[in-house]
Chains A and B, each alone.
Chain A
Amino acid sequence: MEIYLQQLPQQLVNGLTIGGVYALIAIGYTMVYGILSMLNFAHGEIYMIGGFTGWWVLHLLSRQNVPIVNAALLISLMLILSMVVTGILGMGIERFAYRPLRKSPRMNLLLSALGVSILLQNLVLNYQGAKVRFFHVTSLIPESIRVFQVGNVVFSFTRILVLMVAFMLMVLLTVLVKRTKIGKAMRATAQDPEAAMFMGIDVDRIVVFVFLIGSALGGAAGTLVGLLFTQVDYYVGFQAGLKGFTAAVLGGIGNIFGAMMGGILLGLVESLATTFFPATYKDVVAFIILIIVLIFRPWGLMGEKIPEKV
């Protein structure tokens, strides 16, 4: 028990960081669900492609694993480009795979999303191969600030960076949703797309915008995790997608603030679980949480149950 207590602060920090990333992924799920009531199976793949974009930027701007441009600029470029690429990708997916199906049964939409997920995963597999790509971040960050130690808690610079970027993006999103005109239109569309249309809101544009924002955040998460765990491969999207969805469900799907809280909660639970279980069962713990929550509180830990209209 003693040793667990000693590890606790470190695990909390680790959990908070990975939780921030889960939250970013969860936001993408929750925003799309809020507006289209559909589960975007391909979101995990978007995250994976975000990670790959980040890796490519890093790779192209490095010689012998040493960056040839300013490190801060490089990291910003990685983030921005991965967000741009995934944002565009998300809009494309919406346009070609989901929009034609908006009026068909839900199952068709889900199957189409499944198709997109498989397509993207295997496209990446074909053109990138199955091998793991490494982010050489050590040379990116000067030695003097690479690691801090406070008490017996170790902060790495990347960890702090990831945490800060994740939270900054979440704050920006909150401002966007709560304070801007398009945010208001988004909230209206989520409540009732038809009524929003009658009020002069171009619902198609809002849906595209939601896919843009959600996917860009997912892409950013991909690059952030790449910086944190220094690797990416074609298969990471699957697990990350499930985790992000779990986080979205924990917070009550459709609820953006809930998704943020759910992500952080999941990250904390997972990293605390690794002190009690072998690391290989970390994912099992997360999935069991997902199953239990979906079965007993499908409206999320914080949300309210809405009776079905007959």
Chain B
Amino acid sequence: MTPMARHSTKSTNKTVQNSRDPALSRNLTIALAGNANVGKSVVFNHLTGSSQIIGNWPGKTVERAQGMLNFEGRKIVVVDLPGIYSFSTFSMEEIVSREYIAFEHPDAVINVLDASVLERNLFFTIQLIEMEVPLVVCLNQVDVAKQKGITVDVKKLEQALGVPVVSTVAIRGEGIYELTKTAVKVAENKSQNERPCLKYGIEVEERIEKLAQAIKSENVASGYPPRWIAIKLLENDPEIKKSMSSKSEKIVRESEVLAEEISRMHKEQCFAVIASERYALANGIAADVQKQTITKTTLSERLDWIATHRVFGYVTSTGVIVGLLLWTFTIGGLLSSLLSNALSFLQPVNPAFNGSLVGILWNGIFGGLVAGITLVIPYVVPFYLMLAMIEDSGILTRVAFMMDSAMHKIGLHGKALIPLILGYGCNVPAIRACRIMETKRERLLAAFAITFAPCAARTILILGLVAAFVGAGWALALYAIDIAIIFVLGRIALKIIPGQSTGLIMEMHSFKIPSFSVITKQTWARTKSLIYIVFPTYIAGSVLVQILYAVGVLKPMSDALSPLTVTWLGLPAITGILLILGVVRKEFILLASVAVFGSTNLALFLTPVQLITLALVGILYIPCLSTIAVLAKEFGWRTAAAISAANFATALIVGGITFRLLSLVL
């Protein structure tokens, strides 16, 4: 690999680089940037050996991830930035990436490209070059491109861009070593980074330069390169405009005049002129460096034909949505009973217990541990396995495509289905994934819907209370009610929550054959993080029940709640305490009822109607503590409180009605 392809292309080049000396003792920082779903996370995992979640759908890296790499004696910090198409619109990911690159000054940026969609990817590369960062281009997925009959001339691309280019097949680790070597080289000599200036059309270019000069002479660039600021001002970027107007009104006014000139000349708004010309640049480069031969239809395209077909598409989509639930439901139930049989000798939980403190603690810890192993692990592992497979294949975007019109009924578009499906597993990551939605309102609507999604904990409740003691049919009915509630409340929320919704704009990536190692790694990473949260809370919670029981405060607490539990919901008074504990984690309702009633056969203590009502109220009445916390983090405490209140009200209304109706039937 030639170090820093230096350029003879005629250019009025200026080496504007931050002049920090590459001290050898210092850790290098290398950032990964690029379009959504081009394989940044795959490269990241290869470099750092960590297991950042990978998914074949755009937007799963919402926050930047960090990892360490030891490369030939050097310590390198690797940063995985969220995938974006441009630095221009104001989605959260774009701002995260752009500020990171401008202000944290990574020593090198690896721009990962999807070789099979070169032109579109180069549109972003050009913007990185405009940011004047020390750059290495990683031409990834050359194998996928080859299947599509596309070959890219790496040397030519290097020349056109003026930055080193390494071609890789990241999923198989091909080219990663060379990529790292090149990136380190670039990071170490970043001051000599010199490249041809990619120029816009003359009318635009003249004005960019004029404005950049003005910015330079006023000295108001604030971390970003002047030329980049000039382009952004001409594009009317609201963020940059705001920050500039506080520094120099004159520059902003001048940019407006220049933009007006451009738009008058082209009879087109200035931001559109710039986007068009940037694409013309990308198109020119792509046409120059790639060769396209005609090939036969790939497997991916044939699968795509089925997955988006007007009939089969719905079949596959429903298959994914329902299949994932059923799979979890059946395999989970099977594993759970196997495990609890195997561990039955370990069930010494005796709640009518008045022993020493040590005894209480021991009992609690034991109960918690057993509950975790028999209730959570069997459901979560199969779910995460299947989810990883679904995510990795790329079918999720097709489901989103097919279900778009249905999601419109609750004010969301198809993409919202992706976090909703993640919500089957656990609401917390699902609510974070809502950031793939464009507007705040859509994020809020999606998050609200997710707080009702049948997560693993709710599945456990439904299985443990209803499927086990009433019947599988009733358990499925509860799922149906839950989904109906999501729909009805979604419509109500749509009326209440103000703001705008955008429509669906989503890239549909090629199908991939899920890789075994990715799936297992991913499942393990997710299970591990759940174990860290679940087991301590279980054990602590279980100990708490024991202590409360021993101290004797359970009865007064549940008595205080009896107007709700006994009168309105028709449940035994003691369930009040279950619901209080269930706030921490929903499975506690099941776990604690075993402790409170002193038997695993709950049918002895609760009628079928009570079991169903308890499960229904249990799944609806409040998002668990972790979910409330993530809601507060994403939307603020007031919103989190409002959503929780809505959940509580829904549970009371639905629970009360169900109790009365079921009493007539059962």
Q: Do A and B bind each other?
A: no
Residues of A near any B CB (own CB < 8 A): none
